[in-house]
């Protein structure tokens, strides 16, 4: 694959760099640098989202027909790479990358008009209600029930590992509307206003000290039938679309490479540690080539090739490798674990560089990479079946 940028692509890269230099405020850069979790906190993410929306670049991965800028796969890759290098905040993807494409693909005209502008403007903040106690890897076994009562569903159940639900005012959820049919055929996709009576959010503190995850309890929550996306019983197909879109449209490598570069500059590893850094870079660059090939396939109208199934698995291993390297490279300074969160609200309070001060929290937080979005064991099973025919 020839990755030499032509003159037009180089001009686009320069435009992106100039925009980032001007648009990323010191507060945004500091907030991104001092983020120990996966996504930036709302007081950092929301101003950055508004800035991107004003520039017309927020939904750069959406088709032009639905408001995207019409970028090519290479232009999207350039943008993600430059944002990562510049240290831009990582925006939560539950709305922009997950439910947004579901709504513009499966939603009614009324749903598109109601939800998509509010999503882009930050008025609606989304959480994902898929996993349940006992129904994570085996999602089709979910038990949250939605019983129709006239023009509403009455929803009862529990969702778990719900990322940033403490900030969200909307939940997209899989619910069981027909318990008598094959499990996959009895599931529907609902959009639930989290201010509705009966919705309770309880935090799940992480070992890292971060509050990213939550339990969501739904007790006699009344949801308008108008908030169902697709037909009743179509939820499983919509969920597969969502997960495939996430798998094919997510680029992990730019952020991994940028974080590795920042770590090497801050810790200056030598000897065996430097060798580990080189191996991690080679693995991340190989992942980057695979991701770019997948983007080009999607742009050509083809489904993602089976090789793309391994992207998340490999990215998880690289992420954990980077954070493990940080712990070893920083030594005792990398073992600090402050309790107060978020870090950017404080005045520092750590020894050495910010990278050293956050190393322990990031290491512990990264253990979840091989769990969320499908555990590594489940990913291996999927690869064995879909890619290898085993």
Choice among 246, 291, 297, 377 that is catalytic? 246
200 backbone dihedrals φ, ψ, rounded to 5°: -130, 135
**92: DSSP letter:** P
324, 363 in Cβ contact below 8 A?
A: yes
246 is catalytic: yes
CA quadruple 303, 308, 309, 312: dihedral sign: negative
The residue assigned the tokens 């510049």 is 86
Q: What are the backbone angles phi and psi of residue 250, rounded to the nearest 5°?
A: -105, 125
CB 164, CB 92: distance < 8 Å: yes
Contact 315, 256 (CB under 8 A): yes
Which residue's structure tokens are 């540690």?
273
Which residues are 128's β-sheet partners? 172
Residues 6+ apart with CB under 8 A from 274: none
Rounded CA separation 18/237 (Å): 41
Provide the token pair at 207: 């070992």
For helices 73-86 and 253-267, the axis angle rounded to 10 degrees is 30
Rounded distance, CA 325 to CA 268, Å?
11
Nearest to 368 by CA among 257, 162, 206: 206
User: How do 145-149 and 187-193 pair as beta strands?
Assistant: unpaired
Size (the chain), residues: 390
Q: How far apart are CA 326 and CA 360, in angstroms?
A: 8
Return the active site residues: 246
């Amino acid at each position: 694959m020839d990755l030499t940028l032509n003159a037009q692509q180089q001009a686009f890269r320069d435009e992106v760099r100039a925009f980032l230099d001007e648009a990323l405020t010191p507060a945004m850069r500091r907030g991104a640098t001092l983020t120990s979790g996966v996504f930036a906190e709302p007081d950092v993410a929301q101003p950055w989202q508004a800035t991107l929306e004003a520039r017309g670049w927020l939904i750069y991965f959406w088709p032009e027909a639905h408001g995207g800028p019409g970028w090519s796969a290479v232009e999207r890759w350039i943008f993600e790479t430059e944002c990562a290098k510049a240290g831009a905040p990582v925006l939560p993807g539950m709305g922009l990358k997950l439910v947004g494409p579901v709504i513009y693909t499966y939603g009614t005209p009324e749903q598109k008009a109601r939800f998509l502008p509010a999503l882009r403007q930050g008025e609606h903040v989304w959480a994902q209600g898929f996993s349940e106690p006992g129904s994570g890897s085996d999602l089709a076994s979910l038990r949250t029930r939605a019983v129709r009562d006239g023009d509403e569903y009455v929803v009862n159940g529990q969702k778990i590992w719900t990322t940033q639900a403490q900030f969200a005012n909307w939940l997209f959820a899989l619910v069981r509307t027909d318990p008598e049919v094959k499990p996959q055929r009895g599931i529907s996709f609902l959009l639930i206003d989290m201010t509705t009576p009966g919705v309770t959010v309880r935090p799940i503190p992480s070992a890292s000290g971060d509050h990213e995850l939550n339990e969501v309890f739904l007790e006699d929550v009344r949801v308008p039938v108008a908030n169902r996306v697709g037909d009743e019983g179509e939820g499983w197909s919509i969920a597969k679309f969502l997960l495939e879109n996430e798998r094919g449209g997510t680029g992990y490598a730019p952020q991994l490479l940028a974080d590795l570069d920042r770590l090497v500059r801050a810790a200056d590893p030598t000897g065996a540690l430097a060798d580990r850094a080189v191996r991690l870079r080679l693995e991340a660059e190989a992942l980057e080539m695979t991701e770019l090939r997948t983007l080009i396939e999607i742009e050509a109208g083809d489904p993602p090739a089976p090789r793309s199934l391994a992207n998340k698995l490999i990215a998880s291993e690289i992420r954990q490798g980077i954070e493990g390297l940080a712990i070893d490279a920083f030594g005792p300074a990398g073992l600090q674990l402050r309790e107060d969160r978020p870090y950017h609200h404080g005045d520092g309070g750590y020894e050495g560089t910010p990278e050293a001060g956050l190393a322990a929290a990031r290491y512990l937080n990264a253990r979840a990479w091989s769990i969320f979005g499908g555990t590594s064991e489940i990913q291996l099973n999927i690869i064995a079946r879909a890619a290898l025919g085993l």
